[in-house]
Amino acid sequence: MTFVHLHNHTQYSMLDGAARLGPLFASAAEMGMPALAMTDHGNLHGAYDFWKAGRAAGVKPIIGIEAYVAPGSRHDRKPVLWANGGEDDVAGRGAYTHMTLLAESNEGLKNLFRLSSLSYAEGMYYKPRIDRELLAGYSAGLIGTTGCPSGEVQTWLRIGNYEAARQAASDYRDILGPANYFLELMDHGLSIERRVRDDLLRLAGELALPLVATNDSHFVRPEDAPAHDLLLCIGTQATIDQPGRFKFDGEGYWLRSPAEMRQLWAELPEACEATLSIAERCEVSFESSDLLPRFPVADGWTEESWLRTEVYRGLQRRYPRGIPSDRIERAEYELQVIVEMGFSSYFLVVADFIMWAKANGIRVGPGRGSAAGSLVSYALNITDLDPIQHDLMFERFLNPERVSMPDIDIDFDDRRRGEVIEYVARRWGSDHVAQIATFGYIKAKAAIKDSARALGFGYEVGDALTKAYPQPLMGKDAALECVTNPEHERYRDAKAFRQLLGTSDDYQRVYDAARGIEGLIRQPGVHAAGVIISAEPLIDHVPLWANKDGSVITQFDYPTCEALGLLKMDFLGLRNLTIIDDCLKEVKRNHGRDVDLLALPLGDRETYSLLARGETLGVFQLDSAPMRKLLQRMRPDQFSDIAAVLALYRPGPMGVKAHFAYADRKNGREPVEPIHPELSVALAPILDETYGVIVYQEQVTKAAQAVAGYSVGKADLLRKAMGKKKKEVLDAEFEPFSAGMRRNGYSEDAIRTLWDVLVPFADYAFNKAHASAYALISYWTAYLKAHYPAEYMAAVLTAEAGKSPDQDSTPAYLAECGRMGIEVRRPDVNVSGVDYTPVPGGILHGLGAIKGVGTAADVLVAERAVHGPYSSLPDLLGRLGRAANRRVVEALVGAGALDSLGSRAAMLRQYEATADTVSDLAKREAYGQLTLFGSGLSLIS
Q: Please, which pLDDT band fits residue 764 given cuts at 50, 70 and 90? A: confident
Determine contact, residues 582/835, Cβ cutoff 8 Å.
yes
Q: What percent of the chain has pLDDT over 70?
A: 94
pLDDT tens, residue by residue, 556-585:
999 999 999 998 889 999 999 999 999 999
Q: Please, which pLDDT band fits residue 797 given cuts at 50, 70 and 90? A: very high
Cα(887)–Cα(892) distance, integer angstroms: 9
Cα(915)–Cα(335) distance, integer angstroms: 70
What does DSSP assign to residue 780? H
What pLDDT score was predicted for residue 720?
Answer: 81
What pLDDT score was predicted for residue 94?
Answer: 57
What pLDDT score was predicted for residue 488?
Answer: 83
SS3 (DSSP) at 561? helix
DSSP 482-535: GGT-TTSTTTGGGHHHHHHHTT-HHHHHHHHHHHHHTT-EEEEEEEEEEEEE-S
pLDDT tens, residue by residue, 672-682:
999 999 999 99
Determine contact, residues 707/742, Cβ cutoff 8 Å.
no
User: Closest Cα to residue 870, out of 824, 916, 827, 930?
Assistant: 827
- CA distances (Å), origin 479, targets 162, 474, 496, 635, 938: 53, 5, 15, 42, 66
Cα(30)–Cα(250) distance, integer angstroms: 26
What pLDDT score was predicted for residue 287?
Answer: 86
pLDDT tens, residue by residue, 416-465:
999 999 999 999 999 999 999 999 999 999 999 999 999 999 999 999 99
Q: Please, which pLDDT band fits residue 875 given cuts at 50, 70 and 90? A: confident
The H or E element spanning position 130 is strand 129-130
What does DSSP assign to residue 824? E
First to last CA, the chain: 90
Identify residue 751 by its one-letter amino acid code: I
Cα(659)–Cα(273) distance, integer angstroms: 69
User: Closest Cα to residue 888, out of 922, 925, 843?
Assistant: 922
Cα(862)–Cα(868) distance, integer angstroms: 10
Q: Above 80 in pLDDT, residue 802?
A: no
Q: Above 80 in pLDDT, residue 762?
A: no
DSSP-H helix ranges across 265-324: 269-281, 303-318
Dihedral sign computed on CA atoms, order 674, 676, 680, 683: negative
Q: What count of other Cβ atoms lies within 10 Å of the Cβ of residue 165?
A: 25
* Listed range (98-112, 307-321, 917-931) with the worst mean pLDDT: 917-931
Strand 552-557 to strand 433-441: parallel, antiparallel, or no bridges (unpaired)? parallel
SS3 (DSSP) at 230? helix
What pLDDT score was predicted for residue 759?
Answer: 84
What pLDDT score was predicted for residue 926?
Answer: 43
Cα(332)–Cα(572) distance, integer angstroms: 30
Determine contact, residues 790/838, Cβ cutoff 8 Å.
yes
Cα(495)–Cα(821) distance, integer angstroms: 53
DSSP 577-626: HHHHHHHHHHHHHHH-----GGGS-TT-HHHHHHHHHT--TTSTT--SHH
The helix/strand count (H/E) of the chain reads as 39, 16
pLDDT tens, residue by residue, 521-544:
999 999 988 999 999 999 999 999
Q: Above 90 in pLDDT, residue 757?
A: no
CA 19 centroid distance within chain: 24
CA angle 11, 14, 16 (to 5 degrees): 85
What pLDDT score was predicted for residue 929?
Answer: 41
Determine contact, residues 396/371, Cβ cutoff 8 Å.
no
Determine contact, residues 869/859, Cβ cutoff 8 Å.
no
* pTM of the shown model: 0.85
3-state helix, strand, coil in the chain (%, to 5): 55, 10, 35
Q: Above 90 in pLDDT, residue 643?
A: yes
Q: What percent of the chain has pLDDT over 90?
A: 75
* Listed range (472-476, 713-717, 770-774) with the worst mean pLDDT: 472-476
Q: Above 60 in pLDDT, residue 231?
A: yes
Phi, psi angles (nearest 5°) of residue 421: -65, -40
Cα(715)–Cα(402) distance, integer angstroms: 11
Mean pLDDT for the stretch of residues 324-333: 97
Q: Above 50 in pLDDT, residue 940?
A: no
Q: What count of other Cβ atoms lies within 10 Å of the Cβ of residue 266?
A: 9
- CA distances (Å), origin 796, targets 633, 743, 752, 841, 895: 26, 56, 49, 17, 20
Determine contact, residues 303/294, Cβ cutoff 8 Å.
yes
For residues 93 and 526, which has the higher predicted lDDT (pLDDT)?
Answer: 526
Cα(640)–Cα(440) distance, integer angstroms: 39
What pLDDT score was predicted for residue 667?
Answer: 96
Cα(42)–Cα(38) distance, integer angstroms: 11
b/e 109-129 (16+ beta carbons within 10 angstroms → b): bbbbbbbbbbbbbbbbbebbb
Cα(102)–Cα(63) distance, integer angstroms: 6
Q: Is 133 left (phi over 0), alpha (psi -120 to 50) or beta?
A: alpha
pLDDT tens, residue by residue, 811-839:
999 999 999 999 999 999 999 999 999 99
What pLDDT score was predicted for residue 212?
Answer: 98
What does DSSP assign to residue 827? P
What pLDDT score was predicted for residue 83?
Answer: 54
pLDDT tens, residue by residue, 669-712:
999 999 999 999 999 999 999 999 989 989 988 999 999 999 98
Mean pLDDT for the stretch of residues 909-930: 56
What pLDDT score was predicted for residue 687?
Answer: 94
pLDDT tens, residue by residue, 1-58:
899 999 999 999 999 999 999 999 999 999 999 999 999 999 999 999 999 999 999 9
What pLDDT score was predicted for residue 521?
Answer: 95
For residues 541 and 548, which has the higher predicted lDDT (pLDDT)?
Answer: 541
Residues in the chain, total: 941
What pLDDT score was predicted for residue 312?
Answer: 97
Cα(45)–Cα(683) distance, integer angstroms: 50
pLDDT tens, residue by residue, 258-291:
999 999 999 999 999 999 999 999 999 998 888 9
pLDDT tens, residue by residue, 299-316:
999 999 999 999 999 999
What pLDDT score was predicted for residue 448?
Answer: 95
pLDDT tens, residue by residue, 879-890:
888 888 888 998
Q: Please, which pLDDT band fits residue 938 given cuts at 50, 70 and 90? A: very low
Q: What count of other Cβ atoms lies within 10 Å of the Cβ of residue 10?
A: 27
Cα(482)–Cα(488) distance, integer angstroms: 5
Q: Above 90 in pLDDT, residue 77?
A: no
Phi, psi angles (nearest 5°) of residue 192: -65, -25
Mean pLDDT for the stretch of residues 205-231: 96
What pLDDT score was predicted for residue 86?
Answer: 42
Please provide the average confidence, as pLDDT, over all residues in the chain.
90
Q: Above 70 in pLDDT, residue 151?
A: yes
Q: Above 60 in pLDDT, residue 476?
A: no
What pLDDT score was predicted for residue 200?
Answer: 96
Q: Which residues contact 791 (CB under 8 A, 6 or more apart)?
A: 583, 586, 587, 590, 784, 838
pLDDT tens, residue by residue, 623-640:
999 999 999 999 999 999
